Copies of this chain bind each other. A is one copy, B any other.
Amino acid sequence: MIIVMSHQATEPQVNAVVERVKEIGLKFELSRGEDRTLVGVIGSNAYAYREAFSHLPGIKEIIPITKPFKLASREFRSADTVVDVGGVKVGGTQDVVVMAGPCSVEGEEMLIETARHVAARGARMLRGGAFKPRTSPYSFQGLAGLKMLAMAREETGLRVVSEVVTPADVELCARYVDVLQVGTRNMQNYALLQEVGRVGKPVLLKRGMSSTVEEWLLAAEYVLSQGNRNVMLCERGIRTFEVATRFTLDLNVIPLARELTHLPMVVDPSQATGKWSLVRPMALAAVAAGAHGLLVEVHPHPDEALSDGAQSLDFAAFDRMMDDLHRMTSVLTQVAAK
């Protein structure tokens, strides 16, 4: 942390800052420039004490130096993390993993039909909402959905990823699914992050729709610090002034986050665009930008879907995406590797 003194700051004001640093037990280094004096406050957690200075006179600004995440950082671990989901590997130089399925589990038949189709075309995981954000956590529907997902896994060998929305459901959910998804509205639900951290299953952590990359990595840090190192990050669009698409898919964040963290990056083009005709080009773009996985909504009959039909691919559109993806990833080793 660097404390920048105002250029009118007096000697006693500078001294008061230095005294405060000493009281806290941190080290410091004074740097007197032409224009102003800087007080470098040294120690890896120095910035946590910034409040202790916020009301002292003569200070112009307080600037953090070290980023506040550690376990999630490339500096901490330089090799890519590869998350192993029952043998399906996500991250590093592994093949791009496609996670596909309906927005919500509407029934056994549609789920199995979808699972079989996407598995045959190369998907490795099945996505599907059992507990919708608005569903009562104790309702039968939630449990029934989980059981159907587990059954579809038996049938197809796909791993299952599904969202958990409240801490009380985490253990139940973890018994049925392979990856616990934390949704965009819960990225800073610390009670939930703690539970998914404790339970130890792989986690798919969606970016908050208005979260900076730093806040996102801090949320990951929260899970990692509970001892669960199997965290995948998922970009799903951020909220901007542009309303022609549902959200703005921020693909900048893929190569950027790959510089900052060793964790695998997944992209959800369905939620981001809200429009099925944009899903295929954005899925390809995500992989070209360096994504390790894709989360895509597929429905046998999108125009009959109970939710989010407008953004779901039908089987033909999914097949076309997979074909293009295979063609692109055949030249990808050279493309995606850093």
| A157 in contact (CB, < 8 A) | no
Contact A324/B335 with A75-B8, A253-B242, A309-B51 known, Cβ cut-off 8 Å: yes
Cα–Cα, bound, A31→B37 (Å): 14
Contacts of A51 in B (CB 8 A): 302-303, 305-310
Contacts of A135 in B (CB 8 A): 190
Residue of B at shortest CB range from A237? Answer: B252
| A232 in contact (CB, < 8 A) | no
Contact A66/B281 with A212-B241, A273-B252, A331-B327 known, Cβ cut-off 8 Å: no
Q: Indicate if the CB atoms of A33 and B40 lie closer than 8 Å.
A: yes
Chain A 246-262, CB within 8 Å of chain B: the 1/0 string?
00111111111001000
Cα–Cα, bound, A3→B82 (Å): 33
Interface size on A, residues (CB 8 A): 104
Contact A288/B328 with A133-B188, A185-B188 known, Cβ cut-off 8 Å: yes
Chain A 292-307, CB within 8 Å of chain B: the 1/0 string?
0000000000111111
Interface segment, one of A107-115, A119-127, A143-151, A160-168? A160-168
Total copies of this chain within the assembly: 4
Residue of B at shortest CB range from A134? Answer: B190
Cα–Cα, bound, A274→B104 (Å): 39
Contacts of A35 in B (CB 8 A): 44, 66
| A141 in contact (CB, < 8 A) | no
State the A residues within 8 Å of B (CB): 2, 4, 6-8, 27, 29, 31, 33-36, 38, 40, 42-44, 50-56, 61, 63, 65-66, 75, 133-137, 165-168, 185-186, 188-192, 194, 209-210, 212-214, 222, 238-245, 248-256, 259, 272-273, 275-278, 281-282, 284-290, 302-310, 314, 323-324, 327-328, 330-331, 334-336
